[in-house]
Amino acid sequence: MKKFSVFLLAAVMLLCLASCSKGGGAAQKAPAGQNYLKVGSLLDAAMNIDPITSTYNQVFHIADAICNRLVQPDPVTMELKPYLIEKFPDVSADSKVFTFQLKKGIKFHNGVELKARDVEYTFTRFFDPKWNNLNTWMADFILGAEAMMEGESTTLAGFKVIDDYTFSIELEYPYTAFIAVLAVPPLAIMPKDACEAAGERWGIDTMIGTGQYKIKSFRPGVELIIERNDDYWGTKAKLDGVQWNQMTLETQLIEWEAGSIDFCDVDVSLVDGFMQKYPNNVLEQTFVGTHWLLFNQSMKPLDDIRVREAIGLATDIDTLCKDYFKGHIAQARGVVPPGIVGYDPNRPLREYNPEKAKQLLAEAGYPNGIDLEVTVRETSSWVEIYQIFQEQYKLANIRLTIEKVDAAGWFEKRSTGHVQYYMMNWYADFLDPDNYLYTIYHSDSANFFSTGFKDSYFDAQLAKGRTLAPGEKQKFYSDLETYLLDEVVAGWPLYTPTGYALCSDRVKDVYYKPDLLMTFEIGYIVE
In CATH, what number is assigned to the domain containing residue 438?
Answer: 3.10.105.10
101 shares its domain with 145: yes
> Quick one: angle between helices 456-465 and 434-441, nearest 10?
150
* 254 domain-assigned: no
Q: What's the pLDDT at 273?
A: 94
Distance, in Å, from the CA atom of 433 to the CA atom of 439, rounded to the nearest integer, reads 9
296 shares its domain with 207: no
* 439 domain-assigned: yes
Q: What's the pLDDT at 97?
A: 97
Query: If 0-12 CB within 10 Å is exposed, 13-18 middle and 19+ buried, where does residue 134 land?
Result: middle
* 275 domain-assigned: no
489 shares its domain with 508: no
165 shares its domain with 314: no
11 shares its domain with 109: yes
Residue 311: which of 399, 440, 375 has the closest Cα? 399
Q: What's the pLDDT at 511?
A: 93
445 shares its domain with 327: yes
Distance, in Å, from the CA atom of 80 to the CA atom of 7, rounded to the nearest integer, reads 6
The residue range of the domain holding 416 is 289-496
* 249 domain-assigned: no
Q: What's the pLDDT at 27?
A: 33
> Quick one: angle between helices 456-465 and 473-482, nearest 10?
160
Distance, in Å, from the CA atom of 376 to the CA atom of 398, rounded to the nearest integer, reads 18
* 280 domain-assigned: no
Residue 123 sits in a domain of what CATH number?
A: 3.40.190.10
Residues with Cβ within 8 Å of residue 219, at least 6 apart in sequence: none
Q: What's the pLDDT at 33?
A: 44
Domain count, the chain: 2
Please, which contacts does 376-383 make with residues 24 or more away whose CB atoms are closer than 8 Å?
376/402, 376/403, 376/404, 376/405, 376/410, 376/422, 377/404, 377/405, 377/406, 377/407, 377/410, 378/404, 378/405, 378/406, 379/42, 379/44, 379/248, 379/249, 379/407, 381/249, 381/267, 381/269, 382/423
Residue 184: which of 225, 229, 137 has the closest Cα? 137
105 shares its domain with 206: yes
330 shares its domain with 470: yes
20 shares its domain with 64: yes
* 252 domain-assigned: no
Say if CB 240 and CB 140 are below 8 A apart.
no
Residues with Cβ within 8 Å of residue 180, at least 6 apart in sequence: 6, 8, 9, 71, 80, 430, 431, 432
212 shares its domain with 227: yes
371 shares its domain with 467: yes
* 452 domain-assigned: yes
190 shares its domain with 294: no
* 329 domain-assigned: yes
Say if CB 284 and CB 500 are below 8 A apart.
yes
Q: What's the pLDDT at 472?
A: 94
* CB atoms closer than 10 angstroms to residue 3: 9
Looking at the whole model, is its pTM more than 0.85?
no
Q: What's the pLDDT at 130?
A: 93
pLDDT, tens digit only, all 527 positions of the chain: 322 233 333 333 333 333 343 333 343 444 344 699 999 998 888 899 999 988 888 899 899 999 999 999 998 888 999 999 999 999 999 999 999 999 999 999 999 999 999 999 999 999 999 998 989 989 999 999 999 999 999 999 999 999 999 999 999 999 989 999 999 999 999 999 999 999 999 999 999 999 999 999 999 999 999 999 999 999 999 999 999 999 998 999 999 999 999 999 998 889 999 999 999 999 999 889 999 999 999 999 999 999 999 999 999 999 999 999 999 999 999 999 998 999 999 999 999 999 999 999 999 999 999 999 999 999 888 999 999 999 999 999 999 999 999 988 998 999 999 999 999 999 888 889 999 999 999 999 999 999 999 999 999 999 999 989 889 999 999 999 999 999 999 999 999 988 999 999 999 999 999 888 899 999 999 97
Please, which contacts does 128-134 make with residues 24 or more away whose CB atoms are closer than 8 Å?
128/154, 131/52, 132/53, 133/52, 133/53, 133/186, 134/52, 134/53, 134/54, 134/55, 134/415, 134/448
Q: What are phi and psi of 354, to 5 degrees?
A: -65, -30
